[in-house]
Structure 1
Amino acid sequence: MAATIEFLPERLNRPPVVFRGLTTGEMFLAFAVGSVIGLAAGIPLAIAIRLWAAAPTTVLVGGFLAVFYAGRWLANKKRGRAQMWFYRAIQMRLSQSQFASLFAAFGLADRNLVLKASHWSVRRK
């Protein structure tokens, strides 16, 4: 008698969760986005209070806050969905934006992404 496989081998290829529901790539992406937002907030703050150390401080604080809160948000978004759902959803939004050609030039939006929604029906003739 043949034995059945009790687990799904395709799960072995998934990247492991590192921190708060984020994989390594997602964690670095959240930190980078939070750092850019922190830099954008830190430069005017540093100019206003005339303390240049405020800019790198806000970069680090923004990155850490983004990782801390992005984990919870992304875990809720990805719950019960396919592994590549989040990345395809981002690609779809970038492809449908008014700057789609700019995003495609940097490889962020896929021009071959199918964006047409319809339903299939099978009928007898």
Structure 2
Amino acid sequence: MPSIAFIPKRLNEPPVVFRGMTGKEVVMMTVAGFASGLPLGIVSAWVLGAIAMVPTVCFLFAGAALWFGGTVMRRLRRGRSTIWFYRHVQWKLACAGLPMGEGGSLITHSTAYRIGRDSYRHGGRS
């Protein structure tokens, strides 16, 4: 079976869909905006007596999240790979002591490396 000697790096990256975000990021921003607009939509529907305010406010928040979230994501990821944002969120969760997905854990501390050939470890023999 023939193999390709050189595959460009950008060939394996997800395509940019909207405002510098990939498809997964667009969905994340839309869902976050929709969910953040839900409480205000429910309150405004109750105050105004119009149930149509719930989806209206939710979709306005989703659109704002897409617009401003794209700008924020572009600035955060400038010059970095597409996976950087997800690993950065994983690292922040690990530093906070919160459980992470995918069953993995990250190293959150650093120390000087020691070989372990000290005399006190071997019963005082030199």
Q: Is the TM value for this pair above 0.5?
A: yes
User: Does residue 107 of structure 2 align to residue 114 of structure 1?
Assistant: yes
Matched residue, 1:61: 60
* Deviations 1:65-113 (CA, angstroms, capped at 9, x unpaired): 1011111110000001233210011112222336x14xx4xx37x6511
Unaligned residue ranges in structure 2 (runs of 5+): 114-126
Q: Distance in 2 between matches of 1:10 and 1:33?
A: 30
Trace 1:90-109 onto structure 2 (pairs within 5 A): 90-97=89-96, 100-101=98-99, 104=100, 107=101
Q: How far off is 1:115 after superposition?
A: 1.3
Trace 1:21-100 onto structure 2 (pairs within 5 A): 21-97=20-96, 100=98
Q: Which residue identity does 2:85 align to in structure 1? A: F
Q: Distance in 2 between matches of 1:53 and 1:46?
A: 7
Trace 1:10-25 onto structure 2 (pairs within 5 A): 10-25=9-24
* Deviations 1:29-70 (CA, angstroms, capped at 9, x unpaired): 100000000112211121122211101111111111101111
TM-score, L = length of structure 2:
0.75
Distance 1:119 1:13, change over 3 A: farther
- How many residue pairs align between the two structures? 110
**Residue 37 of structure 1 contacts residue 62 of structure 1 at CA under 8 Å; is this kept in 2?**
yes
Q: Which residue identity does 2:109 align to in structure 1? A: K
Distance 1:46 1:15, change over 3 A: same
Unaligned residue ranges in structure 1 (runs of 5+): 121-125
Q: Which residue identity does 1:21 align to in structure 2? A: G
Secondary structure of the 1:18 match is: strand
**Residue 17 of structure 1 contacts residue 23 of structure 1 at CA under 8 Å; is this kept in 2?**
yes
Identity %: 33
Q: How far off is 1:8 after superposition?
A: 6.2
Matched residue, 2:124: none
Secondary structure of the 2:16 match is: coil
Query: Cα RMSD between the aligned structures?
Result: 2.5
Q: Distance in 2 between matches of 1:94 and 1:41?
A: 28
